[in-house]
Structure 1
Amino acid sequence: MTKRREIVLLGSTGSVGTQTVDVVTAAPERFRVRAIAAGGRDLGLLAEQAARLRVSEIGVALESAVDELRKRVDAVWPGDVRAPVIHAGAGATAQLARLGCDTVLNAVDGSQGLRATIAALEAGAVVALANKESLIAGGPIVTRLAGPGQLVPVDSEHSALAQCLRAGASVEVARLLVTASGGPFRGRTRSELGDVTPEQALAHPTWAMGRLVTTNSATLVNKGLEIIEAHLLFDVPYERIEAVVHPQSVIHSMVEFVDGSTIAQASPPDMRLPISLALGWPDRVAGAAPCIDWTQAHSWTFEPLDDDAFPAVALAKQVGQAGGCAPAVYNAANEELVGAFHDGRIGFLQIVDTIADVVREWLSERRQQRDDTGGGSENVCTVEQVEEAENWARARARILAG
């Protein structure tokens, strides 16, 4: 009989978090959520989730929200169950990650999830990673800490790759093929992207996601981040990882083997499948999501990526190959510039163009410092160096955005 797993859910009120709640409540014999955490923008939902899951601990990043959260929890909490402890502040997620549960699902927004990922790994938990940015920013740190099987992907693309890789030995892998929907601007040339609006960028044809992730899908920065993540998760060189546009979003990624075989993972676009697999890994959770309806006709298409219109993927490969804190700079600059785009301070094309400028400045400064000091290449970062690099990138992006 499969052991019931104890879960800590970080980022519970976001898109992945709410679907994770659906997965665990549908399989109470498989999972129990001990603690949840969120930023604090939706205290009503956080309190409802806490009561629904009967958690023993809650984390909220916004310290000023503690009193209001306690009132909301008390209003919905069953009288026969001990009320949960509330932790508050920037360190609340990392504190819960150290509880010693079987699995920590990290769905925190942005690079702030890095310390929670590190805390969970140090506590010996399996990290179900939906917060790709913590791996992007802290790649050398995270991969150095993670033991075999301790990092399990939640992103649909990396979940698909993990499933496909079961079909052969690592020495038999020729390429990883990461599929991309193409976002709302698929097929447009660079000249046609200059005047697109934030509202248009948020009109994703397939997925319902938050502002940052949806905008990243429109620029294809998300695909660049996913290629860096695929390299770190599966130890495949960047030159053997490619992005392929697949607008139907049914095939979530593919692995090409040395004998010419390509193995693909296909399912309707529903995050409950990769979430359930990450929580239950390596075992599947029956009925987690619907299957493809094979009684209906289907047409699936694939297109090469237009690197001129969407240069974010090629830039991400360069950043990944540079290593060190360069991916953290790429990611932090993007987060800042997405905000500038939605505030109307820059145009759509300036997001990636300015990321490239920030990255070039960063790498140039690092090269100059190494030349001046006679130091070697920057291969490993500390958490403090990552945070310093991110702060530099955000500040530089703000200046360049005007």
Structure 2
Amino acid sequence: MESRDIEAAAARLQGKIHNIHVSSSQTFSKMSGCELYLKCENRQKTGSFKVRGAYNKLALLKERGGCTQVIASSAGNHAQGVSYASAQLGMHATIVMPKSTPIAKVSATSGYGAEVVLAGDNYDESYEAAKAIQERTQAVFIHPFDDEDVIAGQGTIAYEILHDLPNADMIVVPAGGGGLLAGISFYAKQINPRIRIVGVQAQGADAIVRSFHEGTHCTTTSANTIADGIAVMNPGEQTVKIIAENVDDMVTVSDDEIASTILLLLEREKQVVEPAGACSLAAVLNHKIDVTGKRVVCVLSGGNIDVSFIHKVVEKGLVTRGRNMKFRTLMLDVPGSLEKMTHILHEANANIIEVRYDRISADLNLNETIIHMGVEVSSKEHGDRMVRMLEENGYEITLE
């Protein structure tokens, strides 16, 4: 792969996808101590960067001739990218998805024009089913990341960033299978060898981080993270090699840090970003990278978060940031006891969102109960003040 392959991919994609210009964020610049910019691929066609690599791959297949059918296995963004690209280029696409895939994702994928086949209980089983269909139909299999043409398509993000912000000091990129990080790092280093490229993975799926630091291709036996878009146990052979040659550092972020960042993006930037897409900004805001005084671009790689799941992420983010608190305390089980406690909470300006009684613990006296409460406060400091007020009134508070 050469830089001209990525420039050719950018020309191929012109007019077929959105060119979302890099945007500055004063809010996150102040929070991080750097000049921070966002590359919002969550607003891309199909809701993620994946359409870039898929379109470039399929367009090249069409240019070379003879390909009318493609097949892919995916439960997420790659599925929609391949489906959209095939419809644009007049190809027939089959997408094999696990049987447990949410209906919204199945509908979105078929809505772009692909034939969806539900097979297997997980990605690996879907992959095997896709390979079996490929052998029968002779369709071309489109790998989600370990393919040079796909990597070149993802690298067009770096092409756009460096046109918008040629003096960028650093680009921070989420990584799962590694196609996005490989493409961006390869092109950026070709154009400006001094620019720093940092990859970010979730702590529960850190195969590329291990590969990078150990200097060999590593896999994991499990992937446990809310960032399902980058929950890859076996990254690409090609991607790991390119990353080792071009990336300056790799770091991880926790699920709590990811959830908190999603909430910040909703509140401060009015951006809906999926967990995988928020990893880059999470790394910067949680000081995993030294960005002081630098011009930093965070790639928000996607925005396809299930509506049924987003409230859980927001709730986790509220807890992480100290906005929601749960505690328990012992209270007399007599009339007026709850009123006394709620009056203190009112004085503390805390909003009660949950109340639960426990009267059957073995060590309770007959006139006692344990009360479990969930409250909403404005900050961790506000929550600490509330706890102090309760303790000053005789309650022993245990945070949950």
Q: Would you say same fold, with TM above 0.5?
A: no
Between structure 1 and structure 2, the one with the greater Rg is 2
TM-score between the two structures when normalised by the length of structure 2: 0.31
